[in-house]
């Protein structure tokens, strides 16, 4: 077993407007290099929200899994996905399928689930020709920058996620829940405080009420932890939103978010949240072989549009389980 270093990382660079950078010189053995520094590296990620390790020379999914294991954190399976990733094995997946010419807005991975990854590892196997950076934003700073009246309301009420599995857009029930068996899906929903309803045609609709603000288990720091803006109809491109509303109706969108009491969010509120995220976003262009380690509670992440091939794999890790806000009630979601 490699020795572990608990002292601060002397080579860690603090860079205004960019994630903390740790140069690496692994000599061809990236897992051993990470393993020797795992405690210090994990402490740095907790402190700064994210650390970009440059020079590891990662070039495949198996090497990414080995580095995750050397970091000493368990993998986490995909559940409740919106767009199924390609699984490469050993808890490593492709990046979320998303049009290259469209940005992926700030979010915390699976913040709508009762069990979510505490850490996200992003490994760049091949950098794009242009763009495609994975941005990060300090969720504590975002919480402080948002209007207190808005965050207080979300803290009191939580936020509501609605999903309609129409079989045409996004992941189907089998992809989202890991099974196509209706009793198994219902059992998962009951165990995870998800309200569900099957239409006579067999379409599944769900609702889940979640906290919008979460305290970090390491130090109790409060963070704006949710996907209120990212999964809301007003974040969609206008032409896509208009098509979906016309096709499925305002209450039948594949996904949407609301205040905890079910009241719809207005466009100006969603725009405000996204604007605050952008004001707190830091980013560094990818280089092939990079590893970005993100504390999924302390930092939200995003993806910029890009040109040319881009191969970034993802390893969700360090599962965190929460009690949830509500119990499951079967019947038609309100």
pLDDT digits (tens, 9 = 90+) for 283-306: 999 999 999 999 999 999 999 999
Which residues span the domain enclosing 86?
20-100+115-127+284-298+305-321
Residue 96 and residue 31 in one domain: yes
Is 133 among the domain residues? no
pLDDT digits (tens, 9 = 90+) for 209-254: 999 999 999 999 999 999 999 999 999 889 989 999 998 888 889 9
Please report the DSSP string for 211-261 in residue order. -SEEE-TTT--EEE---TTTTSGGGS-HHHHHHHHHHH-TT--SEEEEETT
Which residue in 50, 12, 24 sits closest to 290, CA to CA?
A: 24
Is 11 among the domain residues? no
Is 174 among the domain residues? yes
Is the confidence at residue 99, as pLDDT, over 50?
Answer: yes
Residue 293 and residue 266 in one domain: no
Counted residue by residue, the chain has a size of 334
Residue 265 and residue 294 in one domain: no
Is the confidence at residue 168, as pLDDT, over 80?
Answer: no
Q: Phi/psi at 320 (nearest 5 deg)?
A: -120, 130
Is the confidence at residue 194, as pLDDT, over 90?
Answer: yes
- Measured CA to CA, the distance from residue 136 to residue 123 in angstroms comes to 15
Give 67-97 as a 3 state SS string: HHHHHCCCECCCCCCCCCCCEEECCEEECCC
Domain count, the chain: 2
The predicted pLDDT at position 170 comes to 75
User: pLDDT averaged over the chain?
Assistant: 91
The predicted pLDDT at position 326 comes to 52
Is the confidence at residue 85, as pLDDT, over 50?
Answer: yes
- Interhelix angle 61-71/38-48, nearest 10 degrees: 90
CATH code of the domain in which 288 resides: 3.60.130.10
- pTM value surpassing 0.85: yes
């Amino acid at each position: 077993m490699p020795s572990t270093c608990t002292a601060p990382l002397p080579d860690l660079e603090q860079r205004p407007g960019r994630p903390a950078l740790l140069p690496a010189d692994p000599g061809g053995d990236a897992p051993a290099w990470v393993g020797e520094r795992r405690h210090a590296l994990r402490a740095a990620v907790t402190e700064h929200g994210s650390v970009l390790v440059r020079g590891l020379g990662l070039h495949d999914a198996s090497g990414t899994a080995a580095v995750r294991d050397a970091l000493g954190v368990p993998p986490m399976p995909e559940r409740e996905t919106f767009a199924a990733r390609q699984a490469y094995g050993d808890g490593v997946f492709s990046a979320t399928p998303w049009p290259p010419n469209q940005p992926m807005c700030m979010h915390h991975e699976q913040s709508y689930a009762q069990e979510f990854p505490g850490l996200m590892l992003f490994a760049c196997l091949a950098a794009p020709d242009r763009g495609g950076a994975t941005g990060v934003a300090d969720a504590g700073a975002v919480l402080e920058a948002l209007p207190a009246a808005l965050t207080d309301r979300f803290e009191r009420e939580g936020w509501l996620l609605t999903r309609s599995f129409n079989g045409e857009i996004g992941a189907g029930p089998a992809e989202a829940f890991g099974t196509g068996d209706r009793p198994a899906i219902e059992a998962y929903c009951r165990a995870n405080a998800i309200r569900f309803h099957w239409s006579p045609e067999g379409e599944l609709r769900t609702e889940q009420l979640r906290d919008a603000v979460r305290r970090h288990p390491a130090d109790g720091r409060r963070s704006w932890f949710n996907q209120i803006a990212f999964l809301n109809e007003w974040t969609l491109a206008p032409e896509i939103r208009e098509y979906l509303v016309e096709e499925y109706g305002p209450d039948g969108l594949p996904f949407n978010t609301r205040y905890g009491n079910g009241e719809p969010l207005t466009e100006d509120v969603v725009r405000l949240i996204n604007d605050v995220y952008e004001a707190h976003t830091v980013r560094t262009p990818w280089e092939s072989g990079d590893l970005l380690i993100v504390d999924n509670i302390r930092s939200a992440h995003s993806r910029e549009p890009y040109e040319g091939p881009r191969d970034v794999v993802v390893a969700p890790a360090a599962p965190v389980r929460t009690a949830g806000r509500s119990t499951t009630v079967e019947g038609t979601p309100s």
